[in-house]
């Protein structure tokens, strides 16, 4: 089960908790309850709510655009939705398309390291989880890895994160579901695993000290006499 599926189930469970507070525990065999009729009525109510929100948005657009006509139907051929909102939707689609194309170019740029990391991920999953099938390296999945590499994350750090996920999967079976090729590459999850992995990175201060030692270029300490005013 991936994260989105878990969130859907949590949303349903939240609704069940709300119903329990209002009506008590669910009893599917309750006398006098026609579940099909209840569902039909709820769906009809939902249609009314959607249509009402649709009309409200159309009216709001008419006011914002200064139109003298207050459109109340999205089926109106020259209505708000067929003009302003449709244009907004088109712009959003174009922006998403440009963003997607940009990420695809990133994948092409970092394809080799992305594919190496994907193969390593499959190897670690087989070893840690005992799975036999390989995950499909879709463009969307590779985009996440390419974005991390483009943001300055090294291939070695990515490998360390994969090994950290494999380690956690061996130690705690319940965490194995996150090592799925999707969740483990999301930035927040990646950062957490990277912190846990404790990757050895050269410290900039240590490097500067080494350089000064090598050149014997440490600044001379200032004496107390030289620090007095007028000196």
204 versus 100: the higher-pLDDT residue is 100
The predicted pLDDT at position 79 comes to 47
State percent of the chain over pLDDT 70.
69
Average pLDDT, the chain: 77
Predicted confidence band at 6 (pLDDT cuts at 50, 70, 90)? confident
Residue 88: pLDDT band with limits 50, 70, 90: low
Instruction: Name the 3-class secondary structure at 67.
Output: coil
Q: Is the pLDDT of residue 17 over 50?
A: yes
pLDDT tops 60 at residue 113: yes
- Are the C-beta atoms of residues 15 and 35 closer than 8 Å to each other? no
Contact (CB, 8 A) for 140 and 185: no
Which DSSP state fits 86? H
pLDDT at 205: 56
List pLDDT tens digits, range 118-132: 999 999 999 988 888
pLDDT tens digits along 168-219: 988 888 888 888 888 889 888 898 888 888 655 555 556 666 666 666 655 5
Collapsed DSSP state (helix, strand, coil) of residue 123: helix
User: What is the Cα–Cα distance from 194 to 39, expressed in whole angstroms?
Assistant: 47
Cα–Cα dist 133/114, whole Å? 19
pLDDT: which is higher, 102 or 36? 36
Alpha helices in 24-69 (DSSP H): 35-64
pLDDT of 34-74, one tens digit each? 888 888 988 998 888 888 888 877 777 665 555 544 444 44
What is the share, in percent, of the chain residues with pLDDT greater than 90? 18
Rounded Cα distance, 178 and 128, in Å: 13
pLDDT reading at 78 higher than 60: no
Query: Helix, strand or coil for residue 157?
Result: helix
């Amino acid at each position: 089960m991936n994260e989105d599926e878990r969130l859907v189930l949590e949303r349903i469970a939240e609704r069940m908790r709300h119903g329990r507070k209002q009506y008590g525990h669910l009893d599917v065999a309750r006398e006098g309850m026609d579940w099909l009729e209840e569902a039909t009525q709820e769906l009809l109510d939902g249609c009314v709510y959607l249509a009402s929100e649709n009309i409200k948005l159309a009216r709001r657009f008419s006011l914002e655009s200064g139109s003298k006509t207050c459109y109340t139907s999205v089926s109106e051929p020259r209505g708000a939705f067929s003009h302003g909102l449709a244009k907004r939707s088109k712009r959003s689609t174009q922006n998403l398309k440009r963003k997607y194309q940009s990420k695809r170019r990133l994948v092409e740029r970092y394809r080799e390291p992305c594919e190496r990391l994907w193969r390593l991920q499959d190897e670690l999953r087989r070893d840690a989880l005992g799975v036999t099938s390989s995950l499909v390296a879709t463009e969307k999945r590779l985009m996440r890895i390419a974005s991390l590499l483009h943001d300055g994350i090294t291939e070695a750090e990515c490998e360390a994160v994969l090994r950290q996920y494999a380690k956690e999967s061996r130690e705690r079976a319940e965490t194995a579901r996150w090592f799925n090729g999707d969740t483990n590459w999301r930035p927040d999850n990646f950062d957490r695993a990277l912190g846990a992995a404790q990757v050895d990175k050269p410290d900039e201060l240590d490097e500067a000290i080494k350089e000064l030692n090598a050149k014997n270029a440490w600044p001379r300490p200032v004496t107390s006499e030289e620090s007095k005013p007028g000196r």
